[in-house]
Every structure is written in structure tokens, then in C-alpha cells.
Amino acid sequence: MIKLAQNDNEIAGCFKVMKQLRTELQKASFVPLVRELMTDGYQLTYLRDETQVVCVAGFKISKNLFFGKHLYVEDLSTLESERSKNYGKQTIVWLRNLATAEGCNAIHLDSGVQHYWAHKFYLNRNMNIVCYHFSEEIA
């Protein structure tokens, strides 16, 4: 069952899976960081099998001039040992249903160019490559 992480224990339970995507994260600061992000609309959802969290997604529902109202997936990760078991697919379907219920026009996400296996997954979920994302590091 997919649930929104609402208490500190649920948030902490997502760390192991999120750490595989966001390797710079530290366990001690994870819950306070997620709590801080939540004050700006970030939501964290997770999928558990019988014993552990196997997939997580961090997202926001927002509106802007370019996309209109949309659900933006900031983080999506499946435990490496549990990939190819439809957990990611279930999570995308859950996010799609939430976006529809919230009146969103679309779901958007960015994926690092090094994650070619993830790109195949997204393309197989009927997602399209619609723009390039540019960034500049500020010292």
C-alpha cells in the first residue's frame, strides 16, 4: 500500500531508499530536512512490501506560467534489490491518480542524464522528454 509519510518514523523509514538516489543525504539530518521541505509543499510517499519500504517519491503540487497546475516529482527511487517488481510503476500510477484528483494538467520530473535505466522506465510509462534542464553552480 502506498502512503504519505506524515510522522517522523515514516519519514525516517524512507531514508534507505532515498539515499540510493540522493547519495549525499545523511541519516541524522534527513527527517529535519524533509520536515523543512514540507513547509514549502513537499510531500513524501512510500510503498512498503511485507517487511520494508521499497519505493519512495518526493513531490510537490504547484502552478506556474509554463506548466499550469502540475505535480512535479522531485525524487523517485526504488530499492535496488527490489527493482523490476512493479513498485515504481505502482508509485507512478498512484502519483498520476493523485494529480488527476488534484486537477493537475500533467506530471513533470527531471532525471539526471546518467540515469539511462530510469529514462527507459519513464518512457515506458508514457512520459515524454519535453525540455532540457540547465543549471549553473553558484559558489
Indicate the pTM of the whole model.
Answer: 0.86
With respect to residue 133, please indicate whether it lies within any of the assigned structural domains.
no
- Here the CATH number for the domain that contains residue 111 is 3.40.630.30
| Distance separating alpha carbons of residues 138 and 116, to the nearest angstrom | 27
With respect to residue 131, please indicate whether it lies within any of the assigned structural domains.
no
Q: What domain range is 50 assigned to?
A: 2-124
| Distance separating alpha carbons of residues 28 and 57, to the nearest angstrom | 20
With respect to residue 74, please indicate whether it lies within any of the assigned structural domains.
yes
- Number of compact structural domains in the chain: 1
The tens digit of pLDDT for each residue in 113-128 reads 677 677 777 788 888 8
pLDDT score for 104: 97
pLDDT grade, residue 131 (50/70/90)?
confident
Strand partners, 69: 63
Report helix, strand or coil for 57.
Answer: strand
With respect to residue 137, please indicate whether it lies within any of the assigned structural domains.
no
